[in-house]
Structure 1
Amino acid sequence: MPKITLLTGRAAPLAGSDALSGIVKGPVDRPLALGPEGLEGDEQADRSVHGGVEKAVHHYPFEHYAAWQADLGALPALAAPGGFGENISTTGLTEATVAVGDIFRLGTALLQVSQGRQPCWKLSRRFATPDMARRVQQTGRTGWYYRVLQPGVVAPGDRLELVDRLAPDWTLHRLWHALYIDRLNKTELQGIAALDVLAEGWRNYAVRRLDSGRVEDWTKRLDGPQ
């Protein structure tokens, strides 16, 4: 049962941009209420693409930080958990081992993995690295989101306890590979479209690709305002 670092952040001006963002997170030192749309005291500036019930809590594996330091050097945002906007930081869980639909108990709350994290241009501003969002997408070191099945209270140092696995074959790595690498594999897309524990928005990507035979253009999401 991995021990967590719990993090929150307020919306604030994003370096290198006129936009507000809640991507900068810091560790908390007290128990927090966790409701259907996230942690007490946590903010997302653009609610049209961040937050909500399917992206209530963001989890990012801390072991990825060493890989990013090897790639990019000792950037300030890689000095401690919170650089990727995560609410939960752990070691011992990665996209290769966690599957969509996995249910975890944390404190008195119950969480379910709902989808992978879709990188956006704000990561590039956060890390002062122009192609950071693309790097995150290409490497698969994305992290993931939870929906809250049962609200409760969570605290720093709580442990994530795996309660159930509803679709263990659909690891986040497999999902990432199907959506970002082998992007028009009909068999995989059919599986994703039927994966009812996956967030509806991600199932719809598969449905649209099956219907159109084309991959959506994510240029604006990755590159941001010019």
Structure 2
Amino acid sequence: MHYPTIYTGTIIPYEGSKPSAIGKRQVSGGVMLNRLGLEGDEQAEKKVHGGPDRALCQYPREHYQFWQRQYPQQAEQFCAPALGENISTEGMTEENVFIGDIYRWGEALIQVTQPRSPCYKLNYHMDIDEFSVQMQQTGRCGWLYRIVGEGMVSEDQPLELVSRNSDISVAEAISICFHMPFDKEEYRRLMRAAGISASWSKTLQMRVLNGKIEDMNRRLLGV
């Protein structure tokens, strides 16, 4: 059983960067989960954050030990929800969560749609140059959900796997999209994964059409 800690955030300004709702606070008791996410949670740039395919972000709590070792001088800041997650758990990682997985959570049903794509706002939020690049390279990205069925959820209700719909783990999706050299067949395989988000399908399809991997610096570094 994987019992989640729940976090929501509101949009605030960041000096030297654009406004963001990456700063989250813990929510206790029941909260409504609708098709666009947890009640009270906001997204600043809805073109690249949030929406039906990216309504909820989960991050493995055990990854924070790795980041504490990587950045010992900033170790104190590496604890949930430092990376802007809505759900923090132990025991669920990119290796054992798969694209298309459907989980029951309280009254709701949620489906894994894609790994999180780290962006430059993490660099400002953590005050670490190119932290987004490190997250992507290590594969410790977490993942996103769409809401298949709305309902009340709480930290007292576990995430229970009810349907596995593909053979591609979140870790493998990260490897295909972020780590491997150009591979048209692997992109097509990932596009066939049940539940994959529209934005990832578009990115992969554009790679197939253009015959190359897109420049990721704008997302990762804001340039």
TM-score between both structures, scaled by the size of structure 2:
0.95
Mapped to 2, the partners of 1:206 and 1:223 lie a distance apart of: 21
RMSD: 1.3
Q: State yes or no: 1:97 paired with 2:96.
A: yes
Q: 1:57 Cα deviation (Å)?
A: 0.5
Once the two structures are aligned, what percentage of the paired residues are identical?
A: 37
| Matched-pair contact (CA < 8 Å) for 2:38–2:56 | yes
Mapped to 1, the partners of 2:146 and 2:24 lie a distance apart of: 19
Deviations 1:53-101 (A, max 9, x none): 01100000000000000101244431x3111110000000000110000
Q: Which shifted more, 138-147 or 207-216? A: 207-216
Which residue identity is paired with 1:129? I
Mapped to 2, the partners of 1:220 and 1:186 lie a distance apart of: 23
Deviations 1:135-173 (A, max 9, x none): 111111000001000000011232101111000x20011
| Matched-pair contact (CA < 8 Å) for 1:112–1:149 | yes
Runs of 4+, deviation exceeding 6 Å:
none
Q: Which shifted more, 103-112 or 193-202? A: 193-202
**Among 154, 160, 176, the residue aligned to 2:174:** 176
Deviations 1:87-118 (A, max 9, x none): 00000000011000000011110000011100
Q: State yes or no: 1:208 paired with 2:206.
A: yes
Residue 11 (structure 1) aligns with? 11
TM-score between both structures, scaled by the size of structure 1:
0.94
- Matched position secondary structure for 2:162: strand
Structure 2: where are the runs of 5+ without partners? none
Which residue identity is paired with 2:6? L
Mapped to 1, the partners of 2:156 and 2:222 lie a distance apart of: 36
Structure 1: where are the runs of 5+ without partners? none
| Matched-pair contact (CA < 8 Å) for 2:100–2:193 | no
Q: 1:210 Cα deviation (Å)?
A: 1.7
How many equivalent residue pairs? 222
Q: Which shifted more, 89-98 or 189-198? A: 189-198
